[in-house]
Amino acid sequence: MSEEMMDYTPDLYELEDEDGNKSSFELLDAMEIDGEQYYALTPYFGDDADALLNDSGEVVILKSAYDEAGEEFLLSIEDEEEYERIGKIFMERLEDMFIFEEEEDGCECGEHDCDCHKS
């Protein structure tokens, strides 16, 4: 493993959903558009090899807001048009930053010997 990888420390956020469940997320990218701050995050599994193998590659896109005390918090983007526009920009940026593997047979299940497309 390269020294650069050994020195890597991800930017982690602990997010709480509407049911009070807490999960860790790693920051992939952040950007400001039209005066608003947006974040692209992915679930963080640390050294949990099983979780990493089963990771769906989910990307969560959140918008920054501030409470009365001036503390920043992240919230879901409710407007569908805004979400689609920001999501598209993030995905283009992430494609430039990361290498995504394409499925050889076009199957989304990820298995090489699956029965998904066999008749």
Domain-by-domain residue ranges, the chain?
Answer: 3-97
Per-residue pLDDT, 31:
95
Two tokens, residue 9: 């420390």
Q: Which pTM does this prediction carry?
A: 0.69
What is d(CA 64, CA 38) in angstroms, rounded to the nearest whole number? 6
Per-residue pLDDT of the chain (119 residues; tens, 9 = 90+): 555 556 667 899 998 888 999 999 999 999 999 999 999 999 898 777 776 677 777 889 999 999 999 999 999 999 999 999 999 999 898 888 776 555 454 555 655 556 665 54
Q: Is the dihedral of CA 27, 50, 47, 73 positive or negative?
A: positive
State residue 45 phi and psi, 5-degree precision: -115, 0
- DSSP secondary structure letter of residue 7: T
